[in-house]
Amino acid sequence: MSGRLAVIGLGPGDPRYLTAEAEGALTDAQALYGYGPYLDRVPVRAGQSRHPSDNREEAARACDALCHAAQGANVVVVSGGDPGVFAMAAAICEQIATGPDAWRTLEVVFVPGITAMLAVAARIGAPLGHDFCALSLSDNLKPWPVIERRLDAAAQAGFAIALYNPVSRARPWQFASAVERLRRHLPGMTPIIFGRAVGRPGERIDVTTLETAADQPADMATLVIVGTRETRIIARPGHSPLVYTPRAAAEVSA
């Protein structure tokens, strides 16, 4: 009996952002695995087992889900946003690469979702309208000096930067340090967007500048977009501002 493993993205939170393919996988699943708060977003269905775990247990979660699928079950692993962006798709692949041969014969599918940087960008305009990159500020899986070098490179190259995992209880200092690093390369008036819990209760979008960004509250539910030298803010009386990065590079549009 052949099992199946689907790794799906739940999107930013609101059910309307869940794709039809992801909804179908959730409906058909016999077992659900995921970080507890993400599983809480999925409606309880009769006949499905649910296996929540902590957010730092990705490898163990992947192994447990693969073992369950190898027994012939239809298993779903859920991620917030998109499973391929700092989430469970890579963890599943890593375990298949080093695990039992039986895991390589499983049917494994990856179902995309709307990741936080796209959800936040859509709320405010087009801050990712030109070249951009995504960087996690968590140093759980890479040393902080590597993060610093990547911040330097991205800012110097003129990328807009989506910063995931800016602050946690274990590392409250790192976002301020990252802002200080970026100020070596970018003007103080560079637009910065803070998007918290987009698509969920308590959603908040704030636009500030690099000069004052370190004083802005942020947590693990926050996605920060750092603009470029070309990123602009359009003030709109009676409406929230629009933030966009022109599609043409400065050298081309000049």
Domain end position, chosen among 81, 114, 147: 114
Q: Are residues 84 and 124 in the same domain?
A: no
- Vertex 204 angle, CA 237 and 130, to 5°: 75
Q: Are residues 178 and 89 in the same domain?
A: no
What pLDDT shows up at residue 1?
Answer: 60
Domain end position, chosen among 114, 148, 168: 114
What pLDDT shows up at residue 254?
Answer: 38
Which are the contacts of 1, defined by CB distance < 8 A and separation ≥ 6? Answer: 72
Domain CATH code at residue 99: 3.40.1010.10
Which are the contacts of 107, defined by CB distance < 8 A and separation ≥ 6? Answer: 2, 3, 4, 5
Domain that includes residue 22, residue range? 4-114
Domain end position, chosen among 68, 84, 114: 114
Q: Are residues 237 and 135 in the same domain?
A: yes
What pLDDT shows up at residue 71?
Answer: 96
Q: Are residues 142 and 245 in the same domain?
A: yes
Q: Are residues 95 and 208 in the same domain?
A: no
Domain CATH code at residue 196: 3.30.950.10
What pLDDT shows up at residue 169?
Answer: 81
Which are the contacts of 67, defined by CB distance < 8 A and separation ≥ 6? Answer: none
Q: Considering its fold, how many domains does the chain have in total?
A: 2
CA 179 to chain centre: 19
Q: Are strands 49-53 and 31-35 parallel, antiparallel or unpaired?
A: parallel
Residues of the chain with pLDDT under 50: 252-254
